Amino acid sequence: GDAKYAHLNQLERASHNLQLFKADLLDYDSLCSAISGCTGVFHVASPVPTTTVEVIEPAVKGTLNVLKACVEAKVKRVVVVSSRGAVAFNPRWPVGQIKDEACWSDKEHCAATKNWYCLSKTEAESEAFEFAKSSGLDVVTVCPSLILGPLLQPTINASSLALVRLLKGGFYFYLEFKVRMIVDVRDVAEALLLVYEKAEAEGRYICMAHLTNPRDLVDKLRSIFPQYDYPKRFIEGGEEDILSSEKLQRLGWSYRPLEETLVDSIESYKKAGILD
């Protein structure tokens, strides 16, 4: 009944195909009632206030609660949405070597740099695989990079905010805000469905489509939307690591052009009143 979720009831055939349950990741019983009767579960929820250690408990304990409820309901496969943040932050990985699913973010490094979101995603994903090993539950994870694309909801979310700030000017590219690895939300949805439906899917899958540096991204945006106030200068922050989605592509995944993602993102922000 919360207005926050009203947009979900406007989805196509929602009145026939959608049931909403009140649930809390830290309330095991509420998860059991939502998951009961399901053959598959997509666990996509995670708190995103990146500046506080408090994100860790709901991310880790919440994921384990979901998985335990799935065992109880005899779910056949669970797809857990992790993050590029659980892959990329590993100072011991060989310099210049493309990071694939074998690379895990270093938990001590994340804690030392107070990167609580990446620590929470790394902890949650690794705990999910440990639980799968001990319980026999079939768990597959997807690790997306920065997700852009049209919004379903009328409010801005954390990843889209990076693009909105860029369009509104006065936003410099510090290391932590670099828009480097981008994937469309619709392509992420396709990836989740793919790893759920393909029997041979196993383990982790990096989900990243486009690698772009800040200057090239601004040039592309300015050529399509010249009316916005783009940054005049950039603060260099060193090179970012490169991730590979080759494993996901071998499973049959493909992605749309970056220009389509940017145009559809910005048009949806305008429609929602987030941008003029």
Q: Are residues 82 and 118 in the same domain?
A: yes
Q: Is 121 a catalytic residue?
A: yes
The answer to whether residue 174 scores a pLDDT higher than 60 is no
Domain boundary among 89, 119, 144: 144
**Count of domains for the chain:** 2
- The percent helix, strand, coil of the chain (3-state, each to 5) is 45, 10, 45
Could you tell me the CATH number of the domain that includes residue 165? 3.90.25
pLDDT of res. 49: 56
Q: Are residues 163 and 113 in the same domain?
A: no
Q: Cα–Cα distance between 245 and 256 in angstroms, integer?
A: 14
Catalytic residue among 61, 74, 121, 232: 121
Nearest to 204 by CA among 149, 134, 124: 124
Nearest to 117 by CA among 132, 105, 102: 105
The pLDDT confidence band at residue 177, using thresholds 50, 70 and 90, is: very low
Question: Does 22 fall in a domain?
Answer: yes
Place of tokens 């409820």: 69
Instruction: State both tokens at 204.
Output: 């982790």
Q: Within a 13 Å sphere around the CA of 255, how many CA atoms are in the beta-carbon half? A: 27
Give the length of the chain.
Answer: 276
Residue 148: phi and psi, rounded to 5, are -120, -175
Domain boundary among 118, 144, 170: 144
Task: Please give the share of the chain, as a percent, with pLDDT higher than 90.
Answer: 68
Burial of 141-177, coded b for 16+ CB within 10 Å and e otherwise, reads: bbbbbbbbbbbeeeebeebbebbbebbeeebebeeee
Question: Does 190 fall in a domain?
Answer: no
Q: What is the mean pLDDT of residues 251-259?
A: 97
Task: Please give the share of the chain, as a percent, with pLDDT higher than 70.
Answer: 91
195 touches 227 (CB < 8 A)? no
pLDDT of res. 236: 64
Query: What sections of the chain are H helices per DSSP?
Result: 14-17, 28-35, 56-72, 107-112, 116-135, 158-168, 185-197, 214-224, 246-250, 258-271
Domain housing 33: 1-144
Q: For residue range 1-31, what is the model confidence (pLDDT) as tens digits? A: 788 889 999 999 999 999 999 999 999 999 9
How does strand 181-184 pair with strand 210-211?
antiparallel
Q: For residue range 63-86, what is the model confidence (pLDDT) as tens digits? A: 999 999 999 999 999 999 999 999
Residue 101: phi and psi, rounded to 5, are -65, -15
Q: What is the mean pLDDT of residues 248-260?
A: 98
